């Protein structure tokens, strides 16, 4: 006799943990050059709307109980609003950024100086890397992207600078030029639950897809449609996931896993290939 189990599976209870973020106001944000497939200098940015969208994001973090620090934007640095690229902070140490394109070189210096003044010991990199754009910190490891912006040598340098194991992942689709466009950290593993991520498999080489399957067998697999609105460029506190509002199916997947999606519209920043996470550097404990 076959017995069918009709019990409804309950999503796990998620616990939020207060976070410490660094953001940069979009005072000088515009698309004046093209260094990724998203950027088109012929498509104007609605500057007023971009300011409103950024303020909504900042106030969303504050309403969730998080701390938000601000860095002064520099004239002539339109991408400085993407604070995640400015470095990787773990505890009282940081691995500084060294940008691939000369248009963004000054940002690495500015973020390094701000972090130093804040009391963070900043390691000055010799290798090309773009901060949290390609380095995502978990409790037990750092996931590191390479292929477009950050060199493989930088993975070794970051591991030494922060004394953390680094897992290298190869990006192969230029639309997902940074790791934070292809992976979202949902639970960093600091509580009782294991680390959990979401990712879009098509952004990665075959061997990196296997690495992700082995490390995170229960990961959420994001659809290409949601990945193409940068749905994975999200920020989670372990329960609340601030997610681009256009990624509707991804929000459903989050609810099914017990997370609380908090949608925000950052469509103006999508014109430069950025969204929620790009605008947010986390100063990890």
Active site residues: 178, 278
Say how far apart CA 21 and CA 25 lie, in whole Å.
Answer: 13
Say how far apart CA 86 and CA 133 lie, in whole Å.
Answer: 8
Say how far apart CA 115 and CA 83 lie, in whole Å.
Answer: 12
Say how far apart CA 125 and CA 109 lie, in whole Å.
Answer: 11
Residues sharing a CB contact under 8 Å with residue 3, sequence separation 6 or more, in sequence order: none
Say how far apart CA 77 and CA 94 lie, in whole Å.
Answer: 22
Give the 3-state secondary structure of residue 179.
Answer: helix
Please give the structure tokens belonging to residue 79: 């991408």
* 264 close to 276: Cβ distance less than 8 angstroms: yes
Alpha-carbon 165 to chain mean position:
19
If phi > 0 it is left, if psi is from -120 to 50 it is alpha, else beta; for residue 239 that is alpha
* 203 close to 182: Cβ distance less than 8 angstroms: yes
Alpha-carbon 251 to chain mean position:
17
């Amino acid at each position: 006799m076959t017995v069918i189990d009709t019990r409804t599976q309950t999503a796990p209870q998620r616990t939020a943990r207060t976070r410490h973020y660094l953001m940069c106001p979009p005072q000088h944000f515009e698309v004046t050059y093209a260094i990724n497939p998203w950027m088109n200098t012929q498509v104007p940015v609605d500057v007023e709307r971009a300011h409103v969208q950024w303020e909504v994001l900042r106030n969303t973090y504050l309403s969730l109980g998080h701390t938000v620090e601000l860095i002064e934007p520099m004239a002539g640095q339109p991408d400085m609003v993407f604070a995640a690229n400015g470095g990787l902070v773990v505890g009282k140490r940081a691995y500084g950024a060294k940008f691939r394109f000369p248009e963004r070189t000054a940002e690495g210096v500015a973020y390094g100086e701000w972090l130093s003044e804040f009391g963070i010991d900043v390691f000055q990199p010799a290798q090309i890397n773009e901060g949290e754009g390609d380095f995502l910190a978990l409790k037990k490891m750092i996931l590191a992207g390479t292929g477009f912006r950050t060199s493989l040598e930088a993975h070794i340098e970051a591991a030494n600078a922060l004394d953390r194991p680094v897992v290298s992942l190869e990006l192969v689709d230029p639309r997902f030029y940074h790791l934070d466009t292809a992976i979202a950290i949902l639970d960093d593993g600091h509580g009782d639950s294991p680390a959990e991520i979401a990712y879009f498999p098509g952004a990665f080489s075959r061997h990196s897809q296997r690495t992700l399957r082995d490390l995170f067998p229960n990961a959420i697999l994001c659809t290409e449609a949601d990945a193409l609105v940068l749905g994975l460029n999200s920020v989670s506190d372990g329960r609340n996931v601030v997610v681009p509002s256009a990624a509707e199916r991804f929000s459903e997947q989050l609810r099914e896993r017990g997370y609380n999606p908090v949608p925000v519209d950052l469509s103006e920043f999508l014109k430069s290939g950025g969204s929620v996470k790009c605008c947010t550097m986390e100063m990890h404990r």
